[in-house]
Structures are given as structure tokens and as C-alpha cells.
Amino acid sequence: IWDGGLGVDGGFIAEPTRPQIPAPVQPATPVEPEDSPSALETLLNPVWKFARVLLGSAVFGVFASLLVLFLPVQTRRVGETLAAQPVTAGGVGLLSILAFVVAMVALGLFSILIITLLLTIPLFLALGVLFSAASALGWVGLGTEIGLRVGSAFGREAPLPLAAGLGTFVLNLLANSVGLIPIIGWILPAGLSLLTLGAVMMTRFGTRSLTAQVTSPPGEG
């Protein structure tokens, strides 16, 4: 007798089960291998980095020679201050960096109001240009000092623009080459930047001398 269920050979199944059909297996998505640098690229990468450092140093050397032509006394004052008071210059450079960061953050917070942008944007630009000029003058001042001392070591007194160009080239090449070393390479360039920036601030962009006597450029009385 059938009573709402499913009879099978005189038996009774209250809830018949459906046959289990296995789901089709999705093929795995092939994983593309990551692009790994070839052996040639691995070998040439440091070479290209050093080539960029070499080119940048040469350009900076030419810039140093031109700058010394227009600001010979100022660059000498910065260089002599670095040689005479390196520790003080480093401390002043660190304080200058902190003051610059605080000033930029304060201007950024002050720029929340749209009206104040008319005032803060020129100040942002002025501070950026001032900081860049101080960094460049300090770097050239140190490079000039190096160039003059190297010339003196060989018993030759090179013209100031030539000494500035060669000294700045060597300084920039050495600092940036060391900067290519991972993790610790930044220490030397950062330390030299603090020294040079501090000397510029101490001499007020080379407008006053902190040493007993400022060496006059060759050819000047």
C-alpha cells in the first residue's frame, strides 16, 4: 500500500535521498612566475647607479666653479668655518634642520583655511629655496676647502674656481658612492650635510667671518 512515501519492493522510505553528483573540479589557475632580474641586469645595476653618481658629481663640480666666480669670499668663509669649528657646525646644522621641519609643519597646519593659502604658499616656496641655497653653498664651501688642501698637499696652488670644482666633484663622488651602500650608506652624506648647513648658518650665508682671517681668493688683494 502506498501512503505518501515511496514504496520499493513492499518497503517504505519516508524521505528519499537524492543521489550525490560530484561537482566538477575547477582547473587550478596557473601561477605566472615573477619577473626576476637576469644576471646581466643584476651586474649592470650597480654600474648604472655609479654612472649616475659620476655624472651628477661632474655637474655639481661645474656648478661649484661657477658659484665661486660670483661668491669667492662667501664660499671661503663657509669652508674655513667648517675646518675651524666642525662640532659647532654640526650642532647648528642639526638645529637648523629641526627648525626647518617645525616651520614647514606649522605652515602646513596654518594652511587648513583656504584664505591662508595665499600667505603660506609663498612662504613654503621661500623656505624651500632658502634651504636649498644654504645646502648648495655649504656643500661648495666644503668642496672648495678640500680642493685647496689637496692642491697644497701636492705643493700647487690652484685657482679658486678650479679648486672648488675639483674638490666638490671629489666630495660629491665620495659621499654619494658611500650612499649607495644599503642601510648604513646614508650616514656619511647626512653627516656632511649637517656640517655644511651649520657652517652656512653660522656665517649667515658667508656674510661674516668666524675665523681670525679669511683667506683671500687668488688674484685678490
- In this prediction, residue 19 carries a pLDDT of 58
Instruction: Tell whether pTM > 0.85.
Output: no
Per-residue pLDDT tens listing for the chain (221 residues): 445 544 455 554 555 556 565 555 565 565 555 555 566 666 667 788 888 999 999 999 999 999 999 999 999 999 999 999 999 999 999 999 999 999 988 888 877 766 677 778 888 899 999 999 999 999 999 999 999 998 888 888 889 999 999 999 999 999 999 988 888 888 999 999 999 999 999 999 999 887 654 444 544 44
SS3 sequence, the chain? CCCCCEEECCEEECCCCCCCCCCCCCCCCCCCCCCCCCHHHHHHHHHHHHHHHHHHHHHHHHHHHHHHHHCHHHHHHHHHHHHHCHHHHHHHHHHHHHHHHHHHHHHHHHCCCCCCHHHHHHHHHHHHHHHHHHHHHHHHHHHHHHHHHHHHHCCCCCCHHHHHHHHHHHHHHHHHHHHCCCCCCCHHHHHHHHHHHHHHHHCCCCCCCCCCCCCCCCCCC
